[in-house]
Structures are given as structure tokens and as C-alpha cells.
Amino acid sequence: MEQPKNMGLKQRIKNGEVVFGTFLSLGYPVTAEIVGTAPWDWVMLDLEHGMGSEKDVLGQLQALANTNIEVIVRVEGSNRQRIHKVLDMGANGIMCPHIDTREEADLATRALRYAPDGLRGVAKLVRATNYGSDFEVYHANQAKNLISIVQVETAKAVKNIDAIAKNSDIDVLFIGPTDLSMSLGIFGQLDHPIYLEAERKIIAAARENQKAVGFLMMDTEDYQKYYDRGVRFFASGTDAFFLKKSNWETANRLLELKNTSNR
């Protein structure tokens, strides 16, 4: 097996480059493989809200193995055993949702590292290390290869953002706009002054501590707006969204043509 392809993405993030990705929420290897034919920089296997479970991660990783796309897994929480499991399968990075304090951020990032720097359990005969053949290389390069993303999506997290951002092992502070706006009491109002001030604080803390800012765009036409604000780690869409959108557009177009031809 080839070594994980995350040699480039983490460095690109640190260099401040723009990178694009999408979420995979259906948990199906064929869907992952189809999405992998597009020029994404990364995909996110979603175990928090997606329909797939931990047992579905391996098939999706294998389906994406021959692409240039790097695979990050959004785990359900910062439980280190869950993080270990998907890293051992060969995930290139982890996203932890609902990180509200520096202590939670520290636990999450330490779960990506072996001792003495972290809490990750050691298993050599796993897919990430080519079933033991490349363990020494994997171990030596873990800190510079594995991508660590924490989601900032509550009022409490915004209050603690300066402390969270000082964690040197975090690569991306990812804004969760839907949850954040709900936590702030202004659900869905992403142009509300309260939301915009929270977003500004997150971006300022990220900039001061050399972190990338991540954001899930609902509309790709918003790219320039969020780029100008400082976002460089862009997410857009999900496999379920792509299927639904194309499904409805095609069916509606055929109905339109049918109705026109019957006049």
C-alpha cells in the first residue's frame, strides 16, 4: 500500500493556500469513489451526522485510495478510542465537533499523537502503517502529516476561542455556521451582527495563532465573500446534496419538456 497522501495537504494548509473539500454523508464506497473523480483537495467522511458508521469508513478509504484526494474523518466527539480507530484505518486527519474549551481541544489533538506527545494507542498491524511494514516511517512523520481540525460552533467556544487557538497542534478552526447561529439564538441568520461578531473573533484568533479558518459554504457564489474574510479551508456540499440536486433538476426538466410537448 502507498503511504498516506497527506504529505501535501497539511503543508498547503500551513502555507495559507485555498483548499476545497466536500462531505460524504451516505457512507457508501461507490458514492465515495464517484465523488473522488472530481478535483477536490479533500473529502470528509461524516460520522457525526452522516448515515454511515465506523464500519463503513474502511470501504470508503479503499475507494478513494487511488485518487489524489485526502480523507479526513469527522468523528462523533473527541473520544480518543474513536479517533484511534479511524486513524489506524488510514484516515489522513480528524475533525472533532463541538470543541468548547482549551481542555477539550487538547484532548482531541493529543488523541492524534503517540506518546510522549499524545494519548494514541499503538497498534502496528493496521492499514495506516501498511500492516506494520511502514510503522517506523508513519510514527516518525505523524506530527507533520496528520491533519487536526476542531469545530467552533457554540457561544461557549467563541468565548474561549483565544485559548483554543493557542493549541499548537490544531491546523484548522472550522466554523459551524448552523450550530453556531443556533447557539447564539439567531438560527440561520448569518448576516446578523451577533453572528458576524462571533465569526470575526474566530477568524482573528486563527490569524493571530497561524491557524487556517474552515467554513461550510451553502452557495459556491459566496466564495469571494468568505475568502475576503479570511477563510482558506472551504467545504461545499455533500454526496447526498449532489444526488438530491441532480435528481430534482433532471426530473423537473423532463416534466417541463413533457408539459411543453403536450401543448
Q: Which residues are paired to 70 by β-bridges? A: 42
Q: How far is CA 222 from the centre of its chain?
A: 19
| CATH number for the domain harbouring residue 140 | 3.20.20.60
Q: Region 25-43: what's the mean pLDDT?
A: 98
* pLDDT, tens digit, 9 for 90 and up, residues 194-236: 999 999 999 999 999 999 999 999 999 999 999 999 999 999 9
Write the secondary structure of 161-200 as one string of H (helix), E (strand) and C (coil).
HHHHHCCCCCCEEEECHHHHHHHCCCCCCCCCHHHHHHHH
CA distances (Å), origin 91, targets 57, 75, 128, 159: 9, 11, 7, 31
Classify residue 146: in a domain, yes or no: yes
Classify residue 210: in a domain, yes or no: yes
User: Which of residues 195 and 4 earns the better pLDDT score?
Assistant: 195
Written as one letter, the residue type at 148 is S
* pLDDT, tens digit, 9 for 90 and up, residues 154-177: 999 999 999 999 999 999 999 999
Active site residues: 49
Classify residue 4: in a domain, yes or no: no
Q: Region 63-91: what's the mean pLDDT?
A: 94
Classify residue 213: in a domain, yes or no: yes
* pLDDT, tens digit, 9 for 90 and up, residues 93-121: 999 999 999 999 999 999 999 999 999 99
Classify residue 2: in a domain, yes or no: no
Residue with cell 451526522: 49
Contact 32/44 with Cβ under 8 angstroms?
Answer: no
Residue with cell 499503538: 122
Burial class (CB in 10 A: 0-12, 13-18, 19+), 86: buried
* Position 4 pLDDT exceeds 70: no
pLDDT at 2: 39
- pLDDT band with cut points at 50, 70 and 90 for residue 192: very high
* Position 143 pLDDT exceeds 70: yes
Domain count, the chain: 1
* Position 7 pLDDT exceeds 60: no
pLDDT at 226: 98
Domain housing 118 = 9-261
pLDDT at 1: 35
- For the entire predicted model, the pTM comes to 0.94
Contact 42/35 with Cβ under 8 angstroms?
Answer: no
- pLDDT band with cut points at 50, 70 and 90 for residue 263: low
Classify residue 3: in a domain, yes or no: no
- Spell out the residues 6+ positions from residue 190 whose beta carbon is closer than 8 angstroms to its own: 177, 181, 196
* Position 185 pLDDT exceeds 90: yes
For the chain, report the end-to-end CA distance as a whole number of angstroms: 60
Listed residue (54, 148, 131, 128) closest to 88, CA to CA:
128
CA distances (Å), origin 146, targets 49, 165, 262: 23, 18, 58
Classify residue 60: in a domain, yes or no: yes
* Position 6 pLDDT exceeds 80: no
Determine what percent of the chain is predicted with pLDDT higher than 90: 92
pLDDT at 120: 95
pLDDT at 20: 98
3-state class (DSSP) for residue 64: coil
- Compute the distance between CA of residue 253 and CA of residue 186 in angstroms, rounded to an integer: 36
